[in-house]
Amino acid sequence: MTGPDADSPRAVLFHSPAFQGHRTGRHPENPSLMAAIEAEVGARGLLSHRPEAAFTHAPPEAITRIHDPLLIANLEASRGNTGWIGADTMVGPESFDVARLAAGAAIAAIDAVIEGPSRQAFVVARPPGHHATPSRSMGFCLLNSVAIAAAHALHRGLRRVAILDWDVHHGNGTQDAFYERDDVLFVSLHRAPFYPGTGASFERGAGAGTGFTLNIPLLAGSGDTTYLHQIRSVVVPAIDAFAPDLLLVSAGYDAHVHDPLGGMNVSEAGFKAFNRVAIELADRLCDGRLVLVLEGGYDPPALARCVADAIELLDAAAGREGGTE
């Protein structure tokens, strides 16, 4: 497969130097991750010939579709301060505004894949979001960008949204947000037992949402073969059966073999294979509509290569759809 030339349609990329403004000191989730991604993406020439991707802070009504007023009030109170808002989650003076901007980028990505200019988008933003529950910021996450994006997509009139979470940690916040709903399918592959302790296979949703949460716990040390077996035998049939209008991916890269936190063995070729499956699913079910939202990944060079690889694959998909057959 070859990438698109300069005239081919490309995926929309949502990124900004402002995402380095969530200052967390020596915390593993720190601005150097974003700097490494920007450098790698720039070195591969992936920033040129790119569709315009304007975005701004998520509006309050988009955030309150997912989060409780108390969580928002706590984050507002953190403005201008530095400190811990949980056992593992740090905020700096601008962190709430950066988190609002990350959620705003995810919202803009939904608008982009619905209205154009492309059906493929990657939100390269931080802080990550998938551990943030409706009522609690946790696990390095302040606001749940992917959940806010899914709720925005439904608000815009899409009927069903699937969220595939391949971050090494269980996306407990996203699960909580949609646990009793049948219009969002949440599928997570994650290491277990591991932080945050949720995501057992018997957690399948409740009420109207029963059967619309799918958890696939994996043992420490799992690699490409295990992941791809589960993706092909369990994830693909479940998303096929759900028939979503949009596929969102909580794209964490902390299952990478070099990751200092994850303890898994996924290779860069493995992540590319996950991406190809997501593209195939979106092409078959969602008229191509696919939004990747960055979650974890704590080895800066590995994270940067994985993100750049994903952008190249999304570009190739955009080029195939936009070009002549």
User: Known catalytic residues?
Assistant: 131
What's the CA angle centered on 167, arms 206 and 210, to 5 degrees? Answer: 10
SS (H, E, C) 234-291: HHHHHHHHHCCCEEEEEECCCCECCCCCCCCEECHHHHHHHHHHHHHHHHHHCCCCEE
How many of the chain's residues bind Zn ion (CB under 5 A)?
Answer: 5
Closest distance to Zn ion from the beta carbon of 293 (Å): 13
Closest distance to Zn ion from the beta carbon of 296 (Å): 3
Candidate residues 165, 203, 254, 309; the one interacting with Zn ion per rule CB under 5 A: 254
What residues numbered 154-213 form the site for Zn ion, per CB under 5 A? Answer: 167, 169
CB atoms within 10 A of CB 165: 28
Nearer to Zn ion, 154 or 216 (CB): 216
CA neighbor of 317 nearest in space, from 271, 286, 276 = 276
Nearer to Zn ion, 106 or 318 (CB): 106
Nearer to Zn ion, 38 or 167 (CB): 167
* Residue matched to tokens 């020439």: 45
Nearer to Zn ion, 29 or 312 (CB): 29
Q: In DSSP terms, which residues pair with 127 in a beta bridge?
A: none
Closest distance to Zn ion from the beta carbon of 29 (Å): 9
Candidate residues 129, 296, 300, 319; the one interacting with Zn ion per rule CB under 5 A: 296
Q: For residues 214 and 204, is the Cβ–Cβ distance under 8 A?
A: yes
Q: Which residue is nearest to Zn ion (CB)?
A: 296
x-or-dash string of contact with Zn ion, 219-238, rule CB under 5 A: --------------------
* Residue matched to tokens 């599928």: 187
Indicate the angle between helix axes 69-78 and 95-115, nearest 10 degrees: 130
Q: Does 252 bind Zn ion (CB under 5 A)?
A: yes
CB atoms within 10 A of CB 161: 28
Closest distance to Zn ion from the beta carbon of 130 (Å): 8
Q: Using the rule CB under 5 A, give the single segment among 15-23, 198-206, 215-223, 295-303 that binds Zn ion.
A: 295-303
Q: Does 259 bind Zn ion (CB under 5 A)?
A: no
Q: Using the rule CB under 5 A, give the single segment among 109-117, 170-178, 210-218, 291-299 that binds Zn ion.
A: 291-299
Task: Name the 3-class secondary structure at 123.
Answer: strand
Contact positions vs Zn ion (CB under 5 A) = 167, 169, 252, 254, 296
